[in-house]
Amino acid sequence: MSQDRLTAFEAVNRYFEDAARLIDLDERMYSVLTTTYREISVQIPVEMDDGELIVVRGYRVHHNGARGPYKGGIRYHPTADLEEVRALASLMTWKTALVDVPFGGAKGGIEVDPTGMSEGELQRMTRRFVNGINHVIGIYRDIPAPDVNTSAQTMAWMMDAYSARHGYSPAIVTGKPLGLGGAPGREAATGRGVIYVLEAYAEQHGFALEGLRVAVQGFGNVGSWAAIEAAERGCVVVAVSDRFGGVRHEGGLDVAALDAVVRAGGAVGDTDQPGVEQITNEELLATPCDVLVPAALGEVIDADNAHVVQADVVLEAANYPVTPGGDKLLCDRGVAVIPDVLANAGGVTGSYFEWSQNIQQFSWKEDRFNTELRDRMRTAFVATAAAAAELDCTLRQAAFAIGIRRVAEASRLRGYV
């Protein structure tokens, strides 16, 4: 629970209600769209390498499936309880609708700290989880993907465990390794999409990316690719961090070198780049910069610390990094927030490309993937900016309003309400 005293799901529903009021949503829709459709909670016994047995809990939540099969990542994290997974599933409903891909919203998680677990332990845990949820997933039913502490390798194990029961099914998960039906471009898609949205925002506001000072919290899949793409466009990446802490350099960090350190199993703080200052994650949020990119966990900016943010723009690469209390303070201070459902939607858009290719048994070149991704992210940004002008509201309210309208329409047509 955030210091705003709302659970994550209550907070996402607060964002939902803010936008729903603006569009005069039919009252009867509220109870359908603020609750989840289906929730699975499974026991996962895992035999550790030393023979000890641990029992962890796994969840898969289906929020709304009016627009298509459920879609959303799987995270392995100690905070991934049912309430957090519900919140993340509902965000997927609004996000998939906003970027207009034919999916509903879902999320999954195992409430476990996977750091220090061996490959064998992770694989056994993942296979057990798939056994527990295999009856509610399917290539036209629910398609998982990677999220925090899960990877292409995790997806490969999931695909294999599912295929062992149901026959060869590459389309059952996205974010797979290239050798197993993964799509060139998918690994980078979320972080790249974040920067496509920043490009569109910068164009609309008449500033260049060249020389823009960017700070990125989290240097996993999303944060590292966002930092790399930003640096490639001439941004000065002044600070990055991971769960151990961060590094800062006013003149700009060598992002490619940091990526090499992390891919070799190190932390960003292990870098030997000259002139680099070691900082904490709290200091990263307070770093003087133009654009702050939270790309790690949720609820990192709230009513208690929003005042430390010095950026003009907060670009939400992570899911739910800003609580409603933090959002209000940022808004009052004139800090623009580009919301998660727009900023990080490149991930699910790329997953849609991968899933479609798997179903058609046809593969695209990476150029086509990136061109289509850029086009869809820009279209979603333009629609969001137009809705913000029409409704005289924030980008978050506008993005939710678009998503809600589409999901409400599909729910009504299907006869849910």
Closest separation in Å from C-beta 148 to ligand NAD:
4
Nearer to ligand NAD, 190 or 323 (CB): 190
Q: Are 287 and 310 in contact (CB under 8 A)?
A: yes
- Which of 64, 123, 344, 384 binds ligand NAD (CB under 6 A)? It is 344
Q: Does residue 297 touch ligand NAD according to CB under 6 A?
A: yes
> In the range 206-225, which residues lie near ligand NAD by CB under 6 A?
217-223
Closest separation in Å from C-beta 127 to ligand NAD:
20
Q: Can you say whether the dihedral through the CA atoms of 131, 135, 140, 146 is positive or negative? A: negative
Q: Does residue 243 touch ligand NAD according to CB under 6 A?
A: yes
- Is residue 176 part of the annotated active site? The answer reads no
Closest separation in Å from C-beta 175 to ligand NAD:
6
- Could you give the residue ranges of the DSSP H alpha helices within 134-220? 152-166, 186-205
Under 8 Å CB-to-CB from 4, ≥6 apart: which residues?
11, 302, 303, 323, 324, 325, 326
CA separation for the pair 98, 42 (Å, rounded): 31
Site of tokens 């201070």:
333
| Region near ligand NAD per CB under 6 A, out of 3-11, 35-43, 237-245, 374-382 | 237-245
**Around Cβ 169, how many Cβ atoms within 10 Å?**
18
Token pair in block for residue 332: 């009052």
Nearer to ligand NAD, 22 or 214 (CB): 214
Relative orientation angle of helices 346-360 and 366-391, to the nearest 10 degrees: 130
Q: Does residue 311 touch ligand NAD according to CB under 6 A?
A: no
Q: Are 351 and 92 in contact (CB under 8 A)?
A: no
- Which position's Cβ is nearest ligand NAD? 220
CA separation for the pair 53, 131 (Å, rounded): 18
> In the range 132-161, which residues lie near ligand NAD by CB under 6 A?
146-149
Q: Does residue 25 touch ligand NAD according to CB under 6 A?
A: no
Q: Among 71, 95, 107, 176, which one carries the catalytic annotation? A: 107
Q: Are 112 and 69 in contact (CB under 8 A)?
A: no
Q: Give me the residues that bind ligand NAD (CB under 6 A), please.
A: 73, 146-149, 190, 217-223, 241-243, 281, 295-297, 317-319, 344, 347
Active-site residue set: 107
